[in-house]
Amino acid sequence: MIAYQLPNGKTIYLTVDQLLRLDDNDIQYMIEMNMGTTSNPFKTMDPSLCDHDVEIPEEINDFLDMLNDGDDDPYLDIDINNIPDNN
């Protein structure tokens, strides 16, 4: 089952097949019939599964710093109005 949130904020549960066949008329019908629940389906999620304090290894952290450094950009000083011909 897949949790699908309707535009009105209510949540319904569908199978993959139902989700793939879902069209705008079906969504409008479910809203008009007041289907779904207003409870958050992720509220019962186990907080121990959400490790927000995961330490990033040093080699990955160094790599991320290289991606954010704009000084090494070889295309930074190119003037697109004065590109020489290589003919």
Residuewise pLDDT in 10s, the chain (87 residues): 888 889 998 889 999 999 999 999 999 999 999 998 887 666 665 666 555 566 656 655 555 555 555 556 666 677 778 877 776
* pLDDT at residue 46, as a whole number: 61
CB-based burial, 58-85: b 16+ in 10 Å, e otherwise = eeeeeeeeeeeeeeeeeeeeeeeeeeee
DSSP annotation of 87: -
In a domain, 75, yes or no: no
In a domain, 83, yes or no: no
Q: How many domains does the chain have?
A: 1
SS3 15: coil
Q: Give the DSSP H/E element, type plus range, for residue 13.
A: strand 11-14
In a domain, 37, yes or no: no
Determine the structural domain holding residue 28 and report its residue range.
Answer: 2-32
The pTM of the full predicted model, rounded to 2 decimals, is 0.45
Cα 46 to the center of its chain, rounded Å:
21
In a domain, 76, yes or no: no
